[in-house]
């Protein structure tokens, strides 16, 4: 679960870093968005995919019931919506994608 959540954290933190990328480049801060470079969107989506895959493996290992699987299924459209928000690299939409991660976490937690 720790590794799954690390992937999720990198995903949403990179979306946040994309919102500040021009400013971070000016002052020389190294963020995940800068590290991923032009592959920042791919990095985010791969981290989300790894998160969901690991969470599914946890659910299978622990034989969790249908509510858990439903929560993962409901999380997928939230994550896909984030892709739609970040794909244009619009700063405001990248920040919105970062904030929208609370929906993913709340859904799985519930």
User: Domains in the chain, ordered, with CATH?
Assistant: 2-109 (1.20.120.1780)
The band of 12, judged by pLDDT with boundaries at 50, 70 and 90, is very high
pTM of the model: 0.91
pLDDT digits (tens, 9 = 90+) for 88-107: 999 999 999 999 999 999 99
Task: Please name which of 78, 93, 7, 82 lies closest in space to residue 47, comparing C-alpha atoms.
Answer: 7
Tokens of 76: 């997928």
């Amino acid at each position: 679960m720790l590794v799954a959540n690390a992937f999720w954290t990198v995903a949403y933190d990179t979306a946040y870093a994309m919102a500040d990328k021009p400013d971070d480049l000016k002052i020389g801060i190294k963020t995940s968005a800068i590290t991923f470079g032009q592959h920042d969107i791919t990095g985010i989506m791969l981290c989300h995919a790894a998160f969901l895959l690991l969470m599914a493996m946890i659910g299978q290992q622990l034989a969790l019931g249908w509510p858990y699987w439903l929560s993962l299924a409901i999380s997928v459209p939230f994550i896909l919506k984030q892709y739609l928000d970040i794909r244009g690299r619009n700063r405001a939409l990248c920040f919105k994608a970062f904030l929208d991660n609370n929906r993913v976490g709340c859904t799985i937690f519930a």
